[in-house]
Amino acid sequence: MAQFSFTDDLITGNALIDGDHRKLITMVNALFDSMAQGHANDIMSKVLNNLIVYTKEHFGREEAEMQRINYAASLSHKSEHTKLIKQVLDLKATVDRGEKINVVTISSFLSNWLREHILTVDMKLATALKQRAQTA
C-alpha cells in the first residue's frame, strides 16, 4: 500500500502545526501498514486509538490558536475536526466489532481528507497566525 508522504506543498510555515502534521501522517501510515498486513482487529484498534488520541490533541492545539487570535473561520474549521473524529471513531467501532473494513477505501479517505484539510483549511489558519504575529 502506498505511503502518505509529508510533501513540501503541505508545509504551512507554522512549526507547531507542521510538526503535528508530520506525526499524524506517520500515524496514518502506521494504520495503513497495519491494515495492509492484515493484522488482527485488536492491533488495528490500538493503532486507531493512538491516532484518535493524537488527532484530538492536535485539533485541540489548533483550536486554542484559533481562539487566541479570534480566528474568523474557527466554527467551520472546528466543524471539520468534529466530523473527522466522529468518522474515525465510527471506523474504530467497526474494527472493535470484528467487522471487515475496506482497506483501500479507508486509506484513500484518510489520505485525501488530511491532504485537503491541510492544503485548504490549515493553510488559511497558518496565514492568519502569521499575520497576527506580524501585527503583534
Range of the domain at 39: 12-135
Identify the CATH number of the domain in which residue 66 sits: 1.20.120.50
| 40, part of any domain | yes
| 68, part of any domain | yes
* CB contact set of 128 (below 8 Å; sequence gap of 6+): 69, 71, 72, 73
* CB contact set of 48 (below 8 Å; sequence gap of 6+): 31, 88, 91, 92, 95
| 97, part of any domain | yes
Q: How far is CA 39 from CA 47, 62, 71, 91, 93, in A?
A: 11, 32, 42, 15, 16
Residue 2 is predicted with a pLDDT of 62
| 10-residue averages of pLDDT along the chain (136 residues) | 84 95 92 80 85 95 96 96 94 89 84 94 96 86
Residue 1 is predicted with a pLDDT of 54
Q: How many domains does the chain have?
A: 1
Residue 85 is predicted with a pLDDT of 95
| 96, part of any domain | yes
| 118, part of any domain | yes
Residue 38 is predicted with a pLDDT of 76
| 51, part of any domain | yes
Rounded CA-CA distance 17/31 in Å is 21
* Threshold 0.85, pTM exceeds: yes
CB 69 within 8 A of CB 29: no
CB 28 within 8 A of CB 110: yes
